[in-house]
Structures are given as C-alpha cells and as structure tokens.
C-alpha cells in the first residue's frame, strides 16, 4: 500500500551504519528525507547517495535530515558510507519491515525471474511526522532536487 501526502509517516527504529539505534522519533520537530534504495554500492544507489551527499549543505540549510534505508546489513552499510564519504545515516532494514510499512517492498522481475526487493523511493516528512511529499520510483539523481523543490529551495 502506497503512502499518500499528509499521512502519518510509519514509525521505525533501525541500526545505522555505525551500529547506533536510530528512530524516526529521534527527529520529531524536524524535517526528514527518508529514502529507500535497493542495494549498497551498486551504480544507481551510489549515484543517489553521492547526489544526496553533495546536496547535504542545501538540505541542512532547509532543516532536513537525510536517512537512507536498504535491506543491507550494518557492515555493508558502513563500508558503503566510508567508501563514498557519506555524511548522513544509512539504516539497515534487513527484514524489510520498514520498507513494507512504506509500501516500497515490491515484487520485481529480472530476466523473467520474479523476486521481492526495494522500489527506489523517497519521502519528505514534516516536523509533525506527516508526509509532505512522496516519490515512488524516483530516479537516483532526482532525489535531492525533488526534495529541495518541495521545500521551495
């Protein structure tokens, strides 16, 4: 089930790439850009993460915290963050429960084989915990520009 604008963002608590517990509630009163990506250190996911890293100053100035979520384990998230100097938290959703809550764990197909995985998507969440904007099937390079545009930046 896809989430709509103005819906309450599903709460979550996950481990970040440093092994710290991070919950959406930790950012109450702040804007948060939560983005879901299929797999750390793959071309599209790297382009997306580096784009957000490069836009970090503008996002921070707009009062936005960035959280990336994938089903990768903490160790893989850490390696990815360190390799590309990512300046935001990457969260490990290994059982994909958070992805399911956000409607981004979907059936996919490659070479005729069906499997489940992440639908690259992002969600801008307001200070009140409600969704300002959703982008399902977002292109890697569009994540930061779309969020900044939604904020009037």
If you average pLDDT over residues 140-151, what whole number do you get? Answer: 94
Which are the catalytic amino acids?
45
Q: What are phi and psi for residue 140, nearest 5 degrees?
A: -50, -45
pLDDT at residue 153, as a whole number: 66
pLDDT at residue 127, as a whole number: 96
Is the separation of the CB atoms in 74 and 41 below 8 Å? Answer: no
Per-residue pLDDT of 29-44, as tens digits, reads 999 999 999 999 999 9
pLDDT above 80 for 110: no
Spatial separation of the C-alpha atoms in residues 126 and 82, rounded to whole Å: 29
If you average pLDDT over residues 115-126, what whole number do you get? Answer: 94
Per-residue pLDDT of 60-88, as tens digits, reads 999 999 999 999 999 999 999 999 999 99
If you average pLDDT over residues 48-63, what whole number do you get? Answer: 95
If you average pLDDT over residues 121-140, what whole number do you get? Answer: 96
Which token pair is 33? 């850009």
- Where do the domains of the chain lie, and which CATH numbers do they carry? 13-150 (3.40.30.10)
């Amino acid at each position: 089930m896809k989430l709509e604008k103005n819906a309450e963002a599903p709460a979550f608590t996950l481990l970040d790439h440093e092994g710290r517990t991070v919950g959406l509630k930790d950012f109450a009163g702040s804007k948060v850009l939560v983005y879901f990506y299929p797999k750390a250190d793959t071309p599209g996911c790297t382009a997306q993460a580096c784009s957000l890293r490069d836009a970090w100053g503008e996002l921070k100035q707009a009062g936005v915290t960035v959280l990336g979520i994938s089903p990768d384990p903490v160790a893989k998230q850490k390696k990815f963050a360190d390799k590309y100097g990512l300046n935001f938290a990457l969260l490990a959703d290994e059982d994909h429960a958070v992805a399911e809550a956000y409607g981004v764990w979907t059936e996919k197909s490659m070479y005729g084989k069906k499997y489940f995985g992440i639908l690259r998507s992002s969600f801008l969440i307001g200070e009140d915990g409600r969704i300002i904007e959703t982008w399902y099937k977002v292109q890697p390079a569009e994540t930061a520009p779309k969020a900044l545009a939604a904020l009037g930046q």
